[in-house]
Amino acid sequence: MATLTQLEQLDQLRERMRRLERAAPQRRALETLPVLRDLVQLQAGGVYEVDPGAGGASLTWGLLAGPTAAGEWGAVVGVPDFGAEAAAALGVRLERVICVPEPGEAWLEAVAALVDVASLIVVRPPTGRAGRVSEAVAGKLAARLRTREAALISLGPWPRAEVRLTASAPRWGGAGQGDGHLRARLLSVEARRGTAPARRVDLWFPAADLTLVAQAPREEVAGRAHLGVVAS
């Protein structure tokens, strides 16, 4: 009986993988602010984890801005300190956002229900045992997200997140010699997808005019001596 050589087996496996890739449905891209696209492109069915530390909330509102500005619905669950003014300055259309600030123990049920009506759901899981999401639950919710063509951003740990984002090394500008006020913050933002090399960008988040830009405006760079840049 003839047997396949290792090279023939590898060729067959490669062809099978190509067929699977061709058969896999293409996921719908959600609108993402241009300044963030080099970092992460939101896609329907995706789950994204954002470190809630320094700059995490601002980064999340920047991601929420894309879909809502394009006319889609967003939702924010479990964030009682949601900064509506800061989110609006970053481009979030507040009239397109459903807020459930204190869902209590029903937070996961609230997220599952909102998948039916919102394209992007932001959730801050509770701390402790009540906030733990099992692999099984995460898998079921991910399947629901794919079916409904929605995406989820978790402000905190989430199993099976396809991209994990962190912000670090914040710098504030505007303090001068103590006679000014904080006007702009420079963050180094990193995105990790599985074992792939991390992507990093530096963003003024927000810039002096409260918008989001990928690099400091030229006049800010030139004027740092009198603006002052301080570590937070």
Cα gap 186→139, rounded to integer Å: 36
Highest mean pLDDT (candidates 32-36, 165-169, 171-175)? 32-36
* 144 φ, ψ (degrees, to nearest 5): -65, -40
93 close to 68: Cβ distance less than 8 angstroms:
yes
Helix, strand, coil distribution of the chain in percent, nearest 5: 35, 25, 40
pTM for this prediction: 0.77
In sequence order, which residues have a C-beta less than 8 Å from that of residue 1 and are 6 or more positions away? Answer: none
Domains of the chain, earliest start first: 34-163 (3.40.50.300), 166-231 (no CATH)
- Report pLDDT digits (tens) over 117-169: 999 999 999 876 656 788 998 999 999 999 999 999 999 999 989 999 998 86
How far is Cα of residue 32 from the mean position of the Cα atoms in its chain?
10
- Report pLDDT digits (tens) over 91-122: 999 999 999 999 998 999 999 999 999 999 99
What is the average per-residue pLDDT within 48-73? 92
Q: Tokens at residue 72, please?
A: 């889609």
In sequence order, which residues have a C-beta less than 8 Å from that of residue 151 and are 6 or more positions away? Answer: 30, 42, 43, 44, 45, 46, 47, 48, 119, 120, 121, 145
**H or E segment to which residue 128 belongs:** none
Nearest one of 185, 193, 143, 141 to 167, comparing CA atoms: 185
